[in-house]
Amino acid sequence: MTAVLALSQVLASVLAQDGFVAYGNSNQWAFVAAGWAAVVVGFTVYAVLLMRKGRQLSKQVPPKDRRWMS
């Protein structure tokens, strides 16, 4: 959670700079690419965490109850 807080503080400081204009900026596609990158990274992190948790939980199931393995 502290990483999210630190990232939001960095983003806020970048956006608070003098002369920063999100609209009318000559490089608007950078914002689109950054948005897509954030979504892809977010889904990737979620998928990795979900797979790790699933593997952790599957090790707790006794071998005789592992129906999906047979």
At 67 the pLDDT is: 78
At 52 the pLDDT is: 97
pTM above 0.85, yes or no: no
Q: What is the dihedral of CA 23, 28, 34, 36, to 10 degrees?
A: 100
Would you give per-residue pLDDT tens digits along the chain (70 residues)?
Answer: 687 778 777 777 776 776 666 666 667 788 889 999 999 999 999 999 999 999 999 899 888 888 765 5
User: For 61, which DSSP code?
Assistant: S
Tell me the C-alpha distance between 26 and 31, whole Å. 11
At 1 the pLDDT is: 65
Q: Name the token pair of 47.
A: 């998928």
